[in-house]
Amino acid sequence: MNADLTSLRSEFPLLAAAPQLHYLDSAATAQIHRAALDAVVRHETNRRANVMRGTYALAEAADLAFDQARQTVARFLNAAAPDEIVFTSGATASLNLVAQAFGNTLRAGDRVLISVAEHHSNFVPWQMLRERTGIELALIPVTADGELDLAHLPELMGSNCRLVAVTQCSNVTGAWTDVAAIVTAARKVGARVLLDGAQAVQHGPQDVRALGVDFYAFSGHKCFGSGGVGVLYGRSELLAAMPPFLGGGGMIGEVTFADTTWAAPPQRFEAGTPPIAQAIGLAAALDWMMTLDWAQIHAHEQQLCGLLIEGLQRIPQLRLLGPAAAASRAPIVSFDIEGLHPHDICQVLDSRNLALRGGHHCAQPLLAALGVEACTRASIALYNDEADIRALLDGLAEVRRTLT
Ligand code: PMP
């Protein structure tokens, strides 16, 4: 590990307390950074009050901290304004919010284009919308490597496509999506683009304006912050044109028995008490992320990913899913070992303090396209090192000894 990165592990309380643990499941949940945890504790200890309701000093301090958290997220995403940031409970809630609120502006016969590689969170809400409104749902296929096959994008969009909703990076194969190609094609037919950034955010700050997307969704727990909080970025003119999804406190202009008017975004989409401390914790994690040298971290993650892929390729009967080149993927590596169930593999690995996830990874359509029912996934984050990769490769040798 590069000299400057060796101390990173000690900045994560759980990893610092468990030196024997090889945590290789950051695609499911990244460990929380000390700055995020401290910010949550500080807030709950000193400023705990509801937001946008109280007029006393404590409530105003909570309001200020919550506003600042929104500003930090806007900076992390390079959004044009903090009002383009909606706090939700997670990426799943953000994606459902678009499917419900933007979805309510669609009509039967309008098309939504998603891909085979989507996490169920960006698959099922669109099926539900199809059921409710009669929209057409179309699928971008994947190549044998699990990358989005964009060869027939214009035909898949047709002339009635209103939204393309795709993942920025697969949670199974780590394959990055060619977002620029999708945005260019979408603009030609006037379609909007929703990017599921759940797997991208832990690999560095994002720039929604450079990406050219209209909506962007992610979760706090995948980028070193608290659980229970997520973000939906939406271009301000689009949010302003969308009806609310949930009704309740905080999202109204005025309520009478006859009628209710809506607050402006982002409050229109934040009915009820938002995840205040979690948003503040997330902002602390993002603030910390924005101080890091991401070129160096990417080089580190890619080196580990390359080492892992090389080692896996030497294991007989092991099939690597996704692009073979480490440079074409985020450091997420899934594999199938003929005749062995991923749950059994993960159990043997767990006995050696290796935390990996086995199963369908909430991406059953992708796994079906790749011809497997389940697979084992190792996901690498900035705090991993070569010892983690060596331990995994040794663990897999043990798996083969004990299970075959
Ligand atoms: N999209 C992708 C690509 C994901 O990997 C995940 C989480 N595995 C989600 C969406 C959903 O995130 P959450 O469970 O935090 O809502």
Domain spans of the chain? 3-24+293-403, 36-289
Ligand 1 midpoint to CA 388 (Å) = 24
Say how far apart CA 223 and CA 85 lie, in whole Å.
16
Does 11 score more than 60 pLDDT? yes
Atom of ligand 1 at shortest distance to CA of 169? 3
How does residue 389 score in pLDDT terms, banded at 50, 70 and 90? very high
Q: Which of 96, 118, 121 to mutate to test the pocket of ligand 1 (most atoms within 8 A of CB)?
A: 121
Cβ atoms of 205 and 294 within 8 Å: the answer is yes
Residues in the ligand 1 pocket, defined by CB under 6 Å: 90-92, 119, 121-122, 167, 171, 196, 198-199, 219, 362
223 is catalytic: no
Block residue for tokens 């990406």 = 211
**Which are the contacts of 269, defined by CB distance < 8 A and separation ≥ 6?**
86, 88, 97, 101, 232, 239, 242, 244, 245, 246, 251
Q: Which residue's alpha carbon is nearest to atom 5 within ligand 1?
A: 171
Mean pLDDT of the chain: 96
Does 53 score more than 90 pLDDT? no
Which listed residue (161, 223, 305, 362) is catalytic? 362
Ligand 1 midpoint to CA 4 (Å) = 30
Q: What is the pLDDT of residue 404?
A: 81
Residue 190 region by backbone torsions, left for phi larger than 0, else alpha for psi between -120 and 50, else beta: left
Q: What is the pLDDT of residue 92?
A: 98
Does 1 score more than 60 pLDDT? no
Instruction: State pTM to two decimals.
Output: 0.97
CATH class of 36-289: alpha beta
User: What angle, rounded to 10 degrees, do the helices at 342-350 and 386-403 form?
Assistant: 120
Q: What is the pLDDT of residue 127?
A: 98
pLDDT single digits (tens) 163-205: 999 999 999 999 999 999 999 999 999 999 999 999 999 999 9
Q: Which residue's alpha carbon is nearest to atom 8 within ligand 1?
A: 28
Q: Stretch 150-174: mean pLDDT, rounded? A: 97
Does 90 score more than 90 pLDDT? yes
Residue 55 CB neighbours (<10 A): 7
Does 253 score more than 90 pLDDT? yes
Asked: is 3-24+293-403 a CATH 3.40.710.10 domain? The reply is no
Q: What is the pLDDT of residue 54?
A: 87
Say how far apart CA 15 and CA 17 lie, in whole Å.
5
